[in-house]
């Protein structure tokens, strides 16, 4: 199986040893505590699950700036996005603290942290990091809006994670750690595995893209890996996406070719940088290949359509990652050929030869109880989405 990023073995920060777990939970009740913001909590979940291997905790200021500017820590580890614990709280001192979960009632302890440094990140440094990671300082960009409001106190040091927040309880059939996915890949006897990232329900184009990658790469299986954390307003919630994807895989893929899983992280909308982060943690979960499509992890028109592909050629040093990238174009149903194709592979087509609907048009159709054409969306998937949009409209 493919090695994790930066180490021979996966090093999840969740405390699996029962005695140690109980001792930490007891100790945490007497420690000073910090209520995390959602971004820092999501980082803790990803660290605990092994997705951010080989990091041992939150980055300090030197690593944060180095990663933002050079895609590597000050120690030389390739890494695309700073993994930080920024807070507005003041008065925190080095030492052990309990990190409390902002997303669960009662704010239970999510992790115990050894705070090694408490540093102030200046407004200019916040802007530098945001510009490098998101490619813009536009406050309308959802990632910029979130990051620039997290606070100016940077806490760094190792953590030990005690639970996976709401992800394990709210999505028991879908949330999986990198450890669990590696184990299941091994149990299925898969060696060559392609991963597909999604924050949306899968339409025919997404389905066929997975099928194309699976067939062209000769993989043993596909891991559809959906984001389960916080999204921007208007995105479809995780339970609805989950139902759509499961129905599509159940009806339209052969048995034992698709594994449907999810991970606990808040979407960054960082385009190219987030695409590289996605590749890093897909390698950590055991995938050998990763699909990067048009406008991967993008939002609005902040990034060029293929910036998330070219960054692997321009900013990722040779050998920095073991996972291989499957670069995909827009896929759409060809009326000429009677099947879904990658548009760049149909040079004799005009735009009128494709069935290509805008997201706005699809939402309007679904809200009106009208299913999109079967060439665009599987009817069984459309039924689930129609019910969701009609429920929204009924509440207005």
Residues taking part in catalysis? 199-200
Structural contact between residues 57 and 159, judged by C-beta atoms closer than 8 angstroms: yes
Q: Which of the 8 DSSP states describes residue 369?
A: T
Calculate ∠ Cα 192-258-80, nearest 5°.
Answer: 60
Dist CA 381 CA 362 (whole Å): 13
Residue 290 backbone phi and psi in degrees, to 5: -140, 130
Task: Please choose, from the candidates 375, 284, 295, 281, the residue with its C-alpha nearest in 3D space to the C-alpha of residue 328.
Answer: 295
Residue 70 backbone phi and psi in degrees, to 5: -120, 0
Calculate ∠ Cα 187-190-191, nearest 5°.
Answer: 125
Phi-psi region of 57 (alpha: psi -120 to 50; beta: other; left: phi over 0): left
Dist CA 263 CA 171 (whole Å): 10
Q: Which of the 8 DSSP states describes residue 192?
A: S
Structural contact between residues 35 and 82, judged by C-beta atoms closer than 8 angstroms: no
Question: CB neighbours of 353 closer than 8 A, spacing ≥ 6?
Answer: 334, 335, 336, 346
The residue length of the chain stands at 396
Question: CB neighbours of 198 closer than 8 A, spacing ≥ 6?
Answer: 206, 224, 225, 226, 227, 241, 245
Task: Please choose, from the candidates 303, 359, 302, the residue with its C-alpha nearest in 3D space to the C-alpha of residue 139.
Answer: 302
Beta-carbon neighbour count of residue 355 at 10 Å?
17
Structural contact between residues 85 and 156, judged by C-beta atoms closer than 8 angstroms: yes
């Amino acid at each position: 199986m493919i090695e994790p990023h930066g180490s021979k073995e996966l090093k999840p920060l969740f405390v699996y040893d029962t005695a140690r777990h109980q001792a930490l939970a007891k100790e945490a009740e007497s420690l000073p505590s910090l209520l995390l913001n959602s971004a820092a909590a999501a980082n803790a979940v990803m660290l605990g699950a092994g997705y951010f291997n080989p990091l041992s905790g939150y980055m300090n200021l030197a690593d944060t700036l180095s990663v933002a500017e050079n895609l590597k820590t000050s120690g030389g580890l390739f890494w695309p996005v700073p993994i930080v614990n920024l807070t507005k709280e003041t008065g925190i001192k080095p030492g052990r603290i309990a990190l409390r979960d902002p997303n669960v009632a009662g704010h239970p302890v999510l992790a115990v942290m050894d705070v090694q440094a408490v540093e102030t990140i200046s407004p200019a440094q916040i802007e530098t990091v945001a510009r490098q990671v998101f490619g813009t300082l536009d406050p309308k960009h959802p990632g910029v809006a979130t990051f620039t409001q997290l606070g100016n106190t940077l806490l760094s040091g190792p953590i030990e994670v005690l639970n996976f927040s709401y992800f394990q309880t709210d999505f028991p059939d879908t949330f999986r750690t990198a450890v669990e996915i590696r184990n299941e890949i091994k149990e299925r006897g898969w060696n060559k595995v392609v991963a597909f990232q999604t924050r949306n329900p899968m339409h025919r184009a997404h389905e066929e893209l997975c099928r194309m990658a699976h067939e062209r790469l000769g993989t043993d299986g596909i891991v559809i890996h959906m984001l389960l954390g916080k999204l921007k307003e208007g995105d479809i919630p995780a339970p609805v996406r989950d139902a759509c994807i499961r129905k599509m895989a159940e009806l339209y893929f052969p048995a034992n070719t698709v594994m449907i899983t999810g991970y606990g992280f808040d979407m960054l909308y960082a385009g190219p940088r987030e695409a590289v982060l996605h590749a890093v943690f897909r390698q950590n979960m055991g995938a050998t290949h990763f699909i990067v499509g048009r406008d991967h992890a993008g939002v609005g028109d902040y990034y060029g359509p293929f910036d998330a592909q070219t960054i692997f050629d321009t900013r990722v040093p040779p050998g920095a990652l073991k996972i291989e990238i499957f670069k995909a174009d827009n896929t759409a149903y060809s009326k000429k050929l009677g099947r879904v194709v990658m548009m760049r592979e149909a040079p004799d087509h005009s735009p009128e030869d494709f069935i290509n609907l805008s997201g706005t048009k699809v939402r309007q159709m679904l809200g009106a109880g009208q299913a999109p054409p079967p060439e665009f969306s599987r009817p069984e998937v459309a039924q689930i989405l129609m019910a969701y949009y009609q429920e929204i409209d009924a509440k207005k």
